[in-house]
Structures are given as structure tokens and as C-alpha cells.
Amino acid sequence: MDKHQKWMHQALALAEKGRGNTSPNPMVGAVLVKDSKVVGEGFHQKFGGPHAEVGAIAQAGESAKGAMLYVNLEPCSHEGKTPPCALKIINAGISEVFIGMIDPNPQVNSRGIRLLQDAGITVHVGLLEDEARQLNRGFIHTFEKKRPWITLKMAQTADGYIADVSGKSQWISSSVAREFVMNQRTQHDAIMVGMGTVFKDDPGLLPVNRDGFIPYRVVLDDILRIPSRLRLVSDEFRNRTVIVTTTDEKKQKIKQLIGSGVQIMHVPGDSFGWIDLPKAMGQLAEFGITSIYSEGGSQVAGSLIQQGLVDEIQLFVAPKALGEGISTFSGFMKSLDSAIQLEWEDVQMLGPDVLIRGRLA
């Protein structure tokens, strides 16, 4: 690893500290280096707060003049909730800037780079770009696809069932796999389930650490059936619950839920009368959710797969067999010639289970 990669890795690590608090803005870290020493560093701590570059420059003070800046995302060039970072960099007298990736936001998108170059600053773009894109894949995705990045997680037996014939699914996967899932919850803006999972498990959908970042809990509830006694609408984190529904007829129930802090999002129904998922995902992106971890059942999984709304698949396969049960995906039926194609990218062992990661081909 050369010195430039070393400092960019440090910027990426700083950016990670903002996870969960910056959406819909990106996670950004900045490191200022002079005479091979760090003279300033910063990261974007929360939405609407100072940007990473501003924090690094403030910490460096006069030492910023003539220093090299490492930042994982192109500095902004427009007036938003904060002044343009590109101008701050120019005014600080920074001589050279290393950038991980170009900002996909149309308001920036190379304008920040040109602003720096026009001021006589040497700019390098693409240092550890893959890592920079992975860090902010949800932010990037909302600009490119107009919807959040969606990771579909499913746990099944070796013969392809997510629950036995009675509907019992706890626990198909091992404690090691469940620990992995808990960590994934902190890597996404929201966790999503359907009403089948809500009725069956009364889930909390919370990470282990309740004192840190709490993701939104998105419930797909087309006709607003959720009982007020369930945890998602009654626990202390109910203000982090978003119910996506097609109905506005249950006015008293809607009023009670909103009054308790629950968010209600109305979306159109599809041709079958269920939630129009593409439109729902678009509205969730507008709401500020850039990444979703789907932990729903077979109907939710099948609908997301069939409509091409899955960006990553995490399939946990447990060394168990049921013979009969509830299939992993439901809601569609294909011939072998027209089967939906998946592409596996990584396989690893998690305790006794196999985790297969992939995507739609």
C-alpha cells in the first residue's frame, strides 16, 4: 500500500463514523496531510451539519496551507444546507486534492473538481474508487435508480424452505448467522418486512446496540392491518417505523398511529391490489432512505425478485431438511426456460450455515 492509499483508507474509516446519521446525504471523511503528517481530519457527522472538509480545515488551521487533502467523495460546489466545500478548500490554500469518486449528484458531478482545478489546485480522481463507491452505494443508487439500494436477506433449509408447514421459522439459521444479520441492520438506513412476518413474529427489527443508530423499520401493510399492540407501533422506537399502505380509509387508526409517532406513507396499489413496490421504493428514497435490508417473507422476497428490485442477495442455507414447508420465494411461477437468473458472487461459512451472496443476473 502506498502513502496515498494509506491516507485515503483513513478518510474512508472516518467517513464510516457517520453511518446512519447522514442520509440522505453521503458519508464523507477528509484527511489533511503536510510533510507526511496528519494536520487535520474530519467527517460528516449528521445531515445538515458541517461537511468533512470543513472539519479537517478547521482542525488544521494555518497548517492547511500547502497541504494535501484526501476525501472519499468530490467536494461540493453548490450552496446547500452548508456553503460549498470547494471554495473552503481554495480559500484554505490547499495545494493538492485526492478524491475517491465523482459525486453523482447533478448539482455537483465534476463541478467541484473543475472549481478546484480552475483555482490552480492539482486534483487526482479515482483513488480507491471501488471502496468509495461501496461505502456510499445507497447514496449513489438513489441518484442512478431513483430508489434505495435493496439487500434481500433470506434464511432457508437445504431443501429450500424458510419455515415449516406450521409457519415456524425460528430458528432456521444459527446464532453466528443471526449475529451477522444484526450487524447488517446497522449498515442500512431501513429494515423492511411484510405483514406476514409482522403477524407471525412480532419483530422489533432492532440492532443489538439500542443506544446507537436505529434504522427505520419499514412495514408493507397494504390495508393497514397492523394491531396497535405489536412492537413496531408501540415500542420506544415507534417514531422509526414507516408503514407503507394503499389505504386512507381507516382515518381513526391512521390518526392514532401518527399521533403516537409512527410514519404513514400512502402509495398506489398495483394491478393486483397490493402495494406498487416500484412507486413505494421511489417514495422511500424521497423520504430520505437510501438503503434497505429486506427481512420479509416469501411474498415480499418473491415480489422484489420478480420486479427486479434487488441489488444484493444474502441467502443463508442451514444444514437442515424439512421435506415440506414454505418456499423461499412465492407469488410467481416460471418455466425452466424463463427462470429468473441469479449470479452468485461470494460463498462463506458462518458457523454451520452457508452464506451465499449474489445479485440478479
pLDDT digits (tens, 9 = 90+) for 281-307: 999 999 999 999 999 889 999 999 999
When pLDDT is averaged across residues 83-93 and rounded to a whole number, the result is 90
pLDDT at 236: 95
Instruction: Record the cell numbers describing residue 198, joined without a space.
Output: 409482522
SS3 labels along the chain: CCHHHHHHHHHHHHHHCCCCCCCCCCCCEEEEEECCEEEEEEECCCCCCCCHHHHHHHHHHHHHCCCEEEEEECCCCCCCCCCCHHHHHHHHCCCEEEEEECCCCCCCCCHHHHHHHHCCCEEEECCCHHHHHHHCHHHHHHHHCCCCEEEEEEEEECCCEEECCCCCCCCCCCHHHHHHHHHHHCCCCEEEEEHHHHHHHCCCCCCCCCCCCCCEEEEECCCCCCCCCCHHHCCCCHHHEEEEECCCCCHHHHHHHHHHCCEEEECCECCCCCECHHHHHHHHHHHCCCEEEECCCHHHHHHHHHCCCCCEEEEEEECCCCCCCEECCCCCCCCHHHCCCEEEEEEEEECCEEEEEEEEC
Query: pTM for the whole thing?
Result: 0.90
pLDDT of residue 286: 94
pLDDT exceeds 90 at position 272: no
Q: Exposed, middle or buried by CB within 10 Å (0-12, 13-18, 19+), for 169? A: buried
What pLDDT shows up at residue 82? 62
Contact 302, 135 (CB under 8 A): no
Q: Answer yes or no: is pLDDT of 207 > 90.
A: no
> What's the pLDDT at 150?
97
For 244, residues 6+ apart whose C-beta sits below 8 A from its C-beta are 218, 219, 220, 221, 265, 267, 275, 280, 283, 284
Residue 148: predicted pLDDT = 96
- pLDDT (tens digit per residue) in 171-197: 899 999 999 999 999 889 999 999 999
CB 59 within 8 A of CB 87: no
For 12, other C-beta atoms within 10 Å of its C-beta total 23
Label residue 249 by pLDDT band (50, 70, 90).
confident
- Over range 35-49, report the average pLDDT: 92
Average pLDDT, integer, range 267-273? 85
- pLDDT at position 23 is 85
Range 150-161 average pLDDT: 95
pLDDT category of residue 80 using cuts at 50, 70 and 90: low
What residues does 317 pair with on adjacent strands? Answer: 156, 354
pLDDT at 78 over 80: no
> What confidence tier does 38 reach under pLDDT thresholds 50, 70, 90?
very high
Check pLDDT > 80 for residue 124.
yes
* Residue for grid cell 417473507: 297
Q: Are 150 and 310 in contact (CB under 8 A)?
A: yes
Q: CB neighbours of 356 closer than 8 A, spacing ≥ 6? A: 313, 314, 315, 317, 344, 346, 347
Would you say residue 1 has pLDDT above 70? Answer: no
Give me the active site residues, please: 53
Q: How confident is the model at residue 274 (pLDDT cuts 50, 70, 90)?
A: confident
Distance CA 48, CA 3 (A): 32
pLDDT higher than 70, residue 146: yes
Inter-residue contact 303 to 277 (CB < 8 Å): yes
User: Considering the chain, what is the average pLDDT of its residues?
Assistant: 93
- Set of cell numbers at residue 160: 429450500
Mean pLDDT, residues 351-357:
96
pLDDT at 296: 84
**22 vs 318, which has greater pLDDT?**
318
- Do β-strands 241-245 and 263-266 pair in parallel, antiparallel, or remain unpaired? parallel
Which set of grid coordinates corresponds to residue 191?
429494515
The share of the chain scoring above pLDDT 90, in percent, equals 79
- Residues 101, 107, 110, 111, CA torsion sign: negative
The rounded distance, in Å, linking the Cα atoms of 353 and 158 is 10
The pLDDT value recorded for residue 212 is 81
State the average pLDDT over residues 48-69: 94
pLDDT score, position 167: 83
Q: What is the pLDDT of residues 46-58, one digit of tens each?
A: 888 889 999 999 9
Sorted by sequence, the CB contacts under 8 Å of residue 235 that are 6+ apart come out as 204
